[in-house]
Amino acid sequence: MNFVLSVLLIAILKDKYDYWLPSRTGCQTLAANIWSDKTTAQNEPINLTNANAPIKNAKNLNSTITNVAAFDTKLNHLLVDTITGRVFVGGVNRLYQLSPDLELSETVKTGPQNDSVECSILDCPLNAVRSPTDNYNKVLLIDRATSRLIACGSLFQGTCTVRNLQNVSIIEHEVPDAVVANDANSSTVAFIAPGPPQHPVTNVMYVGVTYTNNSPYRSEIPAVASRSLEKTKMFQIASSAVTTGTRTFINSYARETYFVNYVYGFSSERFSYFLTTQLKHSHHSSPKEYITKLVRICQEDSNYYSYTEIPVECISDAQGGTKFNLVQAGFLGKPSSDLAQSLGISIQDDVLFAVFSKGEGNTPTNNSALCIYSLKSIRRKFMQNIKSCFNGSGMRGLDFISPSMPCVLTSGEQALLGE
């Protein structure tokens, strides 16, 4: 079967940025943050394969469905264990485990349970009223290093459990820490990758969480954090000090109006990334325009000095320069030989596939497109703009995290950048 995309798309990483540089470097030679969008430079498109050309050597695949699994609840996540073939499904008030043939093995009831957003994880005010509350599955991950399943739900301020990978009904570790969003619709994205305190030996869980603004306790939950997977520190901030650590917050002035939606997260060559949608300008701007941004953190950075954001665009020349501004899904994979040749990379290099929608405000429409980015080009774009800020060009800082300040000419920038 041949597949043909209907439009030719050009993926562009925007060259308009603000920058944030800490007073000292972190993450060895790559400690610089690029946030927001005010400096100007020449646009450099990242070349795509010709989307009008059919995919070569596509094959007809016949598959037999031996079982059909039916569920009596709304589903949130599906996960396949690539080693055993088992299938795990997280839904509203339920966790399911299925065999490779989709035979239902285990069903776990996770809700509803008596809860209130006015309650902390461990205590409730006297005037708080608990009532039966649905539990929405927010995270479903396999920790391959220890062969266990991590499941997080919206109840009790967004807590997580560690479950037996052979039998999800067996809870191995239940942790009273707020980790994920505590409502039905606010986003949470999590993935496991190397991180502090002993990179690359230790793995951590990277978590991006939308501020829910529905409880007095939500200000304690970082927007982005690296959380420990060690048994004695399960889901705690992986590395922390008095004012720093593997976490970042949206500040108190912005968090009730500047909401970041986390769509996808992945790891590539010593960096961890989140695809997000958020306001283009600061929280007090009007009219409100939403864009896609790519967040990046160096995995060796124990203080998040390397936290970085850049805007990402998906544009269709075939539709008169239509901008698809809201990312809806992402996938990190390897390119075919044809795609690799078109992008000027090898088949071993990482490629980000992202589906975008043309938004009406922050609401996606049915007008959508696929854009493809090589991680090599993404890393190059980060580096180019770090150099620009070292050269004194642009602004550093985001109003919703820290005040904006002009970039300052920094001597010895070539050495800092590892050149």
Nearest by Cα to 216 from 81, 116, 288, 348: 116
pLDDT value of residue 308 = 84
**DSSP label at residue 397:** -
Q: Where do the domains of the chain lie? A: 9-58+73-416
Q: Which amino acid, 367? A: N
Query: Which has more confidence, 409 or 36?
Result: 409
Q: Please name the helix (run of DSSP H) or strand (run of DSSP E) that holds residue 33, with its range, or none.
A: strand 33-35
pLDDT value of residue 65 = 57
pLDDT > 90? residue 10? no
Nearest by Cα to 186 from 217, 157, 161: 157
Query: What number of CA atoms fall less than 13 Å from residue 231's CA on the CB side?
Result: 6
Average pLDDT over residues 403-417: 65
Q: pLDDT tens, 164-217?
A: 999 999 999 999 999 999 999 999 999 999 999 988 899 999 999 999 999 999
pLDDT band at 8 (very low <50, low <70, confident <90, very high): very low
Residues facing residue 192 across a β-bridge: 205
Nearest by Cα to 110 from 41, 59, 160, 51: 160
pLDDT value of residue 282 = 72
Q: Is the dihedral of CA 368, 354, 209, 147 positive or negative?
A: positive
Percent of the chain topping pLDDT 70: 81
Write down the residue that tokens 């039916």 correspond to: 70
Which range is least confidently modeled, 17-21, 113-117, 390-394? 17-21
pLDDT value of residue 25 = 33
Mean pLDDT, the chain, rounded, equals 82
Distances (CA, A) of 345 to 336, 342, 366, 375, 376: 10, 8, 32, 10, 8
Q: pLDDT tens, 58-79?
A: 344 455 656 777 888 999 999 9
Nearest-angstrom CA–CA distance, 311 and 308 = 10
- Highest mean pLDDT: which range of 46-50, 82-86, 252-256: 82-86
Nearest by Cα to 329 from 381, 368, 289, 378: 368
Q: Which amino acid, 143? A: D
pLDDT > 80? residue 44? no
The answer to whether domain 9-58+73-416 has CATH 3.40.309.10 is: no
Q: What is the DSSP string of 172-212?
A: EEEE----S--SSSS-EEEEEEE-TTSTTTSEEEEEEE---
Average pLDDT over residues 386-397: 80
Distances (CA, A) of 353 to 45, 48, 332, 349, 371: 16, 11, 6, 13, 6
For the chain, the distance separating the N- and C-terminal CA atoms, rounded to the nearest angstrom, is 47
pLDDT value of residue 173 = 94
Q: pLDDT tens, 345-358?
A: 999 999 999 999 99
pLDDT value of residue 414 = 44
**DSSP label at residue 163:** E
CA angle, 53 then 55 then 58, to 5°: 150
**353: three-class secondary structure by DSSP:** strand
Nearest-angstrom CA–CA distance, 45 and 377 = 10
The pTM (predicted TM-score) of the whole model is 0.84
Nearest-angstrom CA–CA distance, 60 and 81 = 25
